[in-house]
Amino acid sequence: MKRLPEVCLTGAMIILAGAAACLAAPDSIKPGPAGGENPRPEAGRGREAARPRKTEQISYRVASSQAVLAYLRSPGPETLAAALRTCLSVRERIPDDVFNGFLTAFCHHETGDAAAEARALSQYPPEQKNMYRFFFYERRGELADALHIIPAYLCKHLRELPNAGNAFSRGAKCPGFGGPVSGEKYRSKNKTYVRFVCPKCDGMIRLRKSVAGGARAAKNDDSLCPILFHVAYKFLDNRWRFTSKEYKGLEGFLSALGIREGTVVADIGCGNGQFTFPLAEKVGPKGRVYAEEIDERELELIRYCIEKGGLKNIVPVLGTPTDVNIPPGALDTAALIHVYRSILMGLGGRTPEYVDSFFNDFFAGIRKALKEDGALVLVDRIDPRFDVTAGKAAEALKKRGFQLVSDKSDLKERTIILFFKKAPKLVK
């Protein structure tokens, strides 16, 4: 088995000469044993100490995804061995990463080692194992195209983070394809900010404009790319955020939201269900989770996992950009988890009148779906660039008929957690 070629890279960035080209991996990724599936982190380093920076995490994910892509484009023992070796090495660096875990399991599957594949998936709950089967078995024919564009999606995600400036210093390169990333200044609310542009990645994604924009935009890309990308960063990253003493872990976070057995809750903008399935487990058979999403392809994945898992308490709902399409008075709780900021990002450049009209319709639908004593919970990341702060969010919802009853935001973690009830009257 040949050793994977390595290059020395600045700032843990990797350069890919093309999807079919020979993989160049960060020299901090050291090949592990080809037969193993869960290498231990370096001795003496705990999980927190060993966790790489965001730029490094993305570089590692790009490395493993492109190694598997090289195998799919040129199947053979050498490309498969190289892909497995890279995935195992990445797993050593970010052992909890769901996306790389899926890629590792797939490599074992391709070698015919069913036992190693099962061990690689053993740490994941049933819905994630079903997602793995959906992507790598049911949609295998689309996998190569999806992996080809994954670096562009990851680069875009990194550039949209509130602290993107920490990742893209002067002369920084694209973590996927090695091209230059430029910073462009713009003004918002009398303040100057920087947005980062990567021409190659933005061109590959070909962002489509729509009347809604952002997380509530009508999705025109019917390929596997967007939903596989969500697995590539969301499952692990968003759950790591709930690490404060008050909301320790995902279980503590859901309890803090007031989710109990028997609760009827909507996961609005559920994506591929990173919170939908934990919510369903939390509410139990007497409760119900409305998995609302405007992307039919995401709901196809949700339905697949519901069917394979025999789940009875999840109801997939196809919404529209401004209407969640949930029955009136159905909800104890409506949860907006990492959706509000995305909508505001997508509405950037729209007139204030348009933004007001959009949010009026959007929140009117949520208000209608709530019971009279129902609660709206808004969870997001603080981002002054788009006026995403606890105060601004509370002010925006007050204008749409919601009254703030509790603010459990964690400023140290830059996390907004706001609880609202229906206001007796709409504030004009």
Secondary structure in 3-state letters for 59-102? HHHHHHHHHHHHHHHCCCHHHHHHHHHHHHHHHHHCCCCHHHHH
Q: How deeply is 160 buried, as exposed, middle or buried, from its count of CB atoms within 10 A (0-12, 13-18, 19+)?
A: middle
User: Measured between alpha carbons, how far is 206 from 202 in angstroms, rounded to an integer?
Assistant: 6
Q: Which residues on adjacent β-strands are paired with residue 265?
A: 289, 333
| Percent share of the chain, pLDDT over 70 | 79
Q: Stretch 19-23: mean pLDDT, rounded?
A: 33
Backbone phi and psi for residue 402, each to the nearest 5 degrees, phi listed first: -120, 145
Identify the weakest region by mean pLDDT among 234-238, 289-293, 349-353: 234-238
Q: What is the pLDDT of residue 185?
A: 81
Task: Give the CATH class of 225-422.
Answer: alpha beta
Terminal alpha carbon distance of the chain: 70
Nearest in space to 398 (alpha carbons), one of 371, 381, 376: 376
Q: Specify the pTM.
A: 0.81
> Is residue 38 pLDDT above 70, yes or no?
no
Q: Stretch 397-414: mean pLDDT, rounded?
A: 90
Q: What is the pLDDT of residue 246?
A: 59
Q: Stretch 183-211: mean pLDDT, rounded?
A: 74
> Is residue 40 pLDDT above 50, yes or no?
no
User: How many Cα atoms within 13 Å fall on the side-chain side of residue 410?
Assistant: 15
Question: How distant, in Å, are the alpha carbons of 186, 345, 352, 355, 386 from that of 349?
Answer: 11, 9, 9, 10, 11
Q: Dmax of the chain from CA atoms?
A: 70
Q: What is the pLDDT of residue 234?
A: 66
Distance of CA 103 to the CA centre of its chain: 17
pLDDT in tens, 60-88: 999 999 999 999 999 999 999 999 999 99
Residue labelled with tokens 């910073």: 183
> Is residue 90 pLDDT above 80, yes or no?
yes
Nearest in space to 341 (alpha carbons), one of 379, 397, 290: 379
The neighbour count for residue 29, using CB atoms within 10 Å, is 23
Q: Which residues on adjacent β-strands are paired with residue 174?
A: none
Give the residue with greater pLDDT, 396 vs 27: 396
The ranges assigned to domains in the chain are 6-164, 225-422
Q: What is the pLDDT of residue 371?
A: 97
Q: Which residues on adjacent β-strands are paired with residue 377?
A: 335, 419
pLDDT in tens, 234-256: 665 444 455 555 566 677 778 87
Q: What mean pLDDT, rounded, does the chain reach?
A: 81
Nearest in space to 355 (alpha carbons), one of 155, 168, 213, 178: 213
Angle at 340 between CA 335 and CA 341, to 5 degrees: 140
User: Measured between alpha carbons, how far is 147 from 70 in angstroms, rounded to an integer?
Assistant: 10
Question: How distant, in Å, are the alpha carbons of 181, 350, 412 from that of 156?
Answer: 11, 21, 25
User: Measured between alpha carbons, how far is 315 from 383 in angstroms, rounded to an integer?
Assistant: 32
User: Measured between alpha carbons, how far is 240 from 234 in angstroms, rounded to an integer?
Assistant: 10
> Is residue 124 pLDDT above 60, yes or no?
yes
